[in-house]
Structure formats: C-alpha cells, structure tokens
Amino acid sequence: MESFWAWFRWLHDATGINLTIFYDSFDRSRFARGFVMTVELSAVCIVLSVLIGIVGAWLQGSRLRLTRHVIYWYIQFFRNTPPLVQLYFFYFGVGSLLTATGVSGSPVPMVSNVTWAIVSLSFFAGAFNVEIFRSGIEAVPGATIEAAESLGFSRLRTYLLIVLPLAFRISMPALNNNLVNLVKTTTLAYAIAVPELLYVSSQIWSDELNVPEMMNALLISYFTLVGFLVYAMHRWERAIRVPGFGV
C-alpha cells in the first residue's frame, strides 16, 4: 500500500501532477472524510425523504381538508423554488431564530449546519416523493382491490399485500430519478460549510494550490458515486420487475 501511495509522490516529482489526496496522509484523510460525509448525507436524506414521501402520500388521502392543504403547499413550495433558497431559508432564516446564548454571551445556533442540510434536502426530495407515491397508489386498479376484498382480505391486508407492492413497482422509475437528483443536490451543502466532498476539496486546493488535480478528482468521484447509484437502482428496478406487468 505504501508503495502505491509513494507512486503518486513520484508522479508529482516527475510530472508536476500533484495529487496530495493520495500521498499526503492528512489530505488523504480529509478527502476520505468528505467522501464519507457525502455518502452519509445522501444515505440519510434518501431514507428520510422516502419516509416523508410515504407519510405525506398517506396524509394526502386524509379526510381532513386542512391536512391535504398543508401537504399541497408543502409540495408546491419545495418543488418550485431553487433548493439553494430552501437551504438558506432553513439555515439563515429558521436557524437564526433557534439560537441559545453561549458561554461567552454571544448567540450560539442550536442546530448544526449538517442537520440543517439534512432537513432541507430531505424535505426537498420528500416533496417529490409524496407526489410519486401518491400517483403510484392511485395507479393500482380499483378492480384489483375489489378482487382482494371479495376474497375476504381486510382493508389493512389489501393495502399491505396488494396495493403497496404494486404501487412501489409503479413508482420505482420516478423514485430513481428523484433519488439520483437528490445525491447530486447534496453538493449544495457546500454553501453552508458542511464538510462534504466539494467543501473539503476546496479546502485542499486552497492549501495545496492543486486546483486542476482536485477538480478532476472531484468530477471523477461524483461521476463514480452517481454512476454507481444509477446502476444499482436500475438493477433493482429490473430485479423487482414482474413479467408482463409493464412498468
């Protein structure tokens, strides 16, 4: 392993291509932490946004008008404004209201920037998921539900065994698009100084003055990350595909 890292030092000496993230242990761990942060941010936001989607889709079918209105406007706000504005809204707007007085007497934010990034991005992707799941559920034919009912399935069982499995398959392609988009959007967390991949890279290139190398490393990292997600989701989409079901 050492010789592998040393090769990059030799590359620097020989060609001037300065990939400190390989041969410098400090930069290496910084970069790795940034990568892990991006992956964590993506994973947590994916899970939360899917949960928001499921709960929201369920609430959208609520009998209470107020609930439906709240969900409607939630979707409209997060769908139609730039995610950067949403991030600022949470971090600068809501965040400045939620402050405690620190030891030195100056206001200290109660919620960290990482948390705000997670909240903001999850709500952003969640808004799309609500719509996706809702149309998935609505797309299950009423006749199929009636058939389950006629066989004596209870309402809950019909929902769990018939409606949700079908709705999930119907929603899958749209969900994939959205989750891939979400992972790309995590870069915005840079704007509120969350130490994710883009942020640590900018730190490294301002310390080491190796902008082109870092830029390319960054581009390749994201290409790999997003490419892997796209590939994995497609495989999954195909794996749960039912022959003859179409979607």
Partner 1 sequence: MSRLRWCDPLPQATDLPVLLPAASRLARSATAERTAGAFRLRLRPAHGVALLALFAIGCGWAEAQVQPGQPSILATLWKWTPVLLRGFLFNLAISAVAMAAGTIVGLFLGFAQISLLLPVRKGAWVTTHFFRNAPWLVLLFYCMFLLPFQVTVFGMTIQIPDWIKATLGLSLPVMANVSEIVRGALQSIPTTQWESAASLAFTRRQTMWMIIFPQCIKRMLPPWMNLYAILTMATVLTSIVGVNEMMSLTRQALSAENRSGLLLAFYSYVLFWFFLYCYPIARWTVRLEARYAVNH
Partner 2 sequence: MTATPAVDAEPIVVIDDVHKSFGNVEVLKGVSLSVPKGGVVCIIGPSGSGKSTLLRCINGLVPIDQGSIRVASFDVHQLKTDQEKIALRKEVSIVFQQYNLFPHKTALENVMMAPVHVLKEDREEVRERAVALLRKVGLSAKADVYPGELSGGQQQRVAIARSLAMRPEVMLFDEVTAALDPETVKDVLNTIRELALEGMTCMIVTHEMRFARELADVVYFTDGGVIVESGPPAELFDRPVKERTRAFLSQIL
Q: Which among 23-31, 98-106, 111-119, 139-147 is the span making contact with partner 1, rule CB under 8 A?
A: 139-147
Among 42, 113, 122, 178, binds partner 1 (CB under 8 A): 178
148 binds, among partner 1, partner 2, none (CB under 5 to 8 A by kind): partner 2
Q: Should residue 139 be labelled a site residue for partner 1 when binding is judged by CB under 8 A?
A: yes
Distances (CA, A) of 191 to 36, 113, 182: 18, 10, 16
212, interface contact from partner 2, partner 1, none, CB < 5-8 Å by kind: partner 1
**Torsion sign over Cα 110, 115, 116, 122:** negative
**Beta-bridge mates of residue 100:** 108
Site for partner 1 contains 136 (CB under 8 A): yes
Which of the listed partners (partner 1, partner 2, none) does 4 bind, with a CB threshold of 5 to 8 Å by partner kind?
A: none
Using CB distances below 5 to 8 A depending on partner kind, what does residue 67 bind out of partner 2, partner 1, none?
none
Answer yes or no whether residue 212 interacts with partner 1 by CB under 8 A: yes
* Residue indicated by tokens 């709705």: 167
Q: What is the distance between the terminal CA atoms of the chain, rounded to a whole angstrom?
A: 47
CA distance 47 to 125: 10
Binding site residues, partner 2, CB under 8 A: 141, 143-144, 146-155, 157, 161-162, 165-166, 169, 242-246
Q: Shortest approach of partner 2 to residue 238 CB, angstroms?
A: 15
Burial class (CB in 10 A: 0-12, 13-18, 19+), 11: middle
Residue keyed to tokens 């749960």: 240
Residue 187: which of 239, 122, 117 has the closest Cα? 117
Nearer to partner 1, 43 or 139 (CB): 139
Q: Which of residues 221-240 bind partner 1 (CB under 8 A)?
A: 222-223, 226-227, 230
Q: Which residues are at the interface with partner 1 (CB under 8 A)? A: 73, 76, 79-82, 84-85, 88-89, 92-93, 96, 128, 132, 135-136, 138-141, 170-171, 173-174, 176-178, 181, 184-188, 190-191, 198, 202, 205, 211-212, 215, 218-219, 222-223, 226-227, 230, 245-247
